[in-house]
Amino acid sequence: MTDLTEEPDGPTDQPEPNQLNHREEARARRGVLLPVERHLSYEIETHHRKHNWSVERGGLIGRAWIERFCDPKDADYHFQDRKVFFVIERGDRRIAAGTLTIWRGIYDEDGDGWDLEGFVRRGDINSQSEYDMAVAVAKVWGSDDEENWWTDDPFCYGHLCSFDRLVINAKTSADVEAAWQIIDALLKRVRRGMAVMVLKAFPLDYEGGVTAENQPAFERRQRALMRLYQRRIGFEPVPHKALADEGWMLRLFNEGARPDVE
C-alpha cells in the first residue's frame, strides 16, 4: 500500500472524467440515487478538476480536493476557511464521500484579531449549518451567554476543523475498514496546525424529517453514530450537556485547546 500524495496547493486544472458512471446515470434518470450520490450530489458534480491528494487502502482509492485558505483580504471577521471534499471508490463505485471545512483566525493590518462572536458572524454568512456549528463552538469555548464570546479560544491554539458531512455505503466489512483507514490518512494529511476538530453526529436520512413518531429511532441512530465516531476517529462528546445531547463531539490535537468542563 502506497500513499500517492501531492501538495494541497498544487495545480488542480486537469480535467477529470465524468463523475457519474453509466449505472448511476440510469439511476439518476429514474430518480433513484445511491446514498453517497444522494447526499453529496452537488459536491460530486462540481469537483471536475484533478484531485490533489490520493491514497490506496485495501483495494479502495481515496481522492481529495483540498483547497487553499481564502485570501486574507477576503477573510470576513478575521477568519479564513479552506474546503476539503473527498471520495472513496472501488472501481466505478463510490464507497464513501465527505466534506470538511478548516478555519483559522488571522490578524488584520492594524493588529486586530478574532473572537468567538466574530466566528459566529462569519458562520452566519454562508449557511445555517455553518452558523449552527459556530454557535456550538462559541458555547463550548465561551459560554451560553453571548457576553462571554470575546475569547479567542480555541483558535489561539491552532485551526479548527468542522467535519461537515460523511456518507459510507460499503457492502463488506473489508471495505468498511479500508474506508476508515483512508479517512484517517486524510485527517493526518490536513491536520497540520490544527487544534481541534468538531462534528455533529446526525443520521443524514433524518435531515428535515425528525418527528415525534421517529424520534426514538433517530436517537438510537444518533447514539450509535457517536459510539462509532468515538471508536473509529477518536471523538468525544463536548463538555456541554445540552450540545452533547444534540450529538456535538470534538477531537483535540492540541491539549491546550481543551474547553473548560461545564
Residue type, 100: L
Contact 154, 198 (CB under 8 A): no
Is residue 3 predicted with pLDDT exceeding 50? no
Residue 173 grid cell: 466489512
Q: What is the pLDDT of residues 212-241, one digit of tens each?
A: 888 899 999 999 999 999 999 999 999 999
Give the 3-state secondary structure of the chain: CCEEECCCCCCCCCECCCCCCHHHHHHHHCCCCCHHHHHCHHHHHHCCECCCEEEEECCEEEEEEECCCCCHHHCHHHEEEEEEEEEEEECCEEEEEEEEEEEEECCCCCCCCCCHHHHHHHHHHHCHHHHHHHHHHHHHHCCCCHHHCCCCCCHHHCEEEEEEEEEECCCCHHHHHHHHHHHHHHHHHHCCCEEEEEEECCCHHHCCCCCCCCHHHHHHHHHHHHHHHHHHHCCEECCCHHHHHCCEEEEECCHHHCCCCC
The strand order across the sheet containing 236-237 reads 3-5, 53-57, 60-66, 79-90, 93-105, 159-168, 194-200, 248-252, 236-237
Q: What is the pLDDT of residues 52-97, one digit of tens each?
A: 999 999 999 999 999 999 888 888 999 999 999 999 999 999 999 9
- Mean pLDDT, residues 133-138 taken together: 98
Domains of the chain, CATH where assigned: 55-257 (3.40.630)
- Mean pLDDT, residues 44-59 taken together: 93
* pLDDT of 28: 41
Q: What are phi and psi of 258, to 5 degrees?
A: -65, 125
Q: In the structure, what pLDDT confidence band is assigned to residue 39 with cuts at 50, 70 and 90?
A: confident
Cα–Cα distance for residue pair 63/55, rounded to 1 Å: 7
* pLDDT of 202: 92
Is residue 5 predicted with pLDDT exceeding 50? no
Q: In the structure, what pLDDT confidence band is assigned to residue 262 with cuts at 50, 70 and 90?
A: low
* pLDDT of 187: 97
To the nearest whole number, what is the mean pLDDT of the chain?
86
Is residue 16 predicted with pLDDT exceeding 90? no
Q: What is the pTM of this model?
A: 0.84
Q: In the structure, what pLDDT confidence band is assigned to residue 204 with cuts at 50, 70 and 90?
A: confident
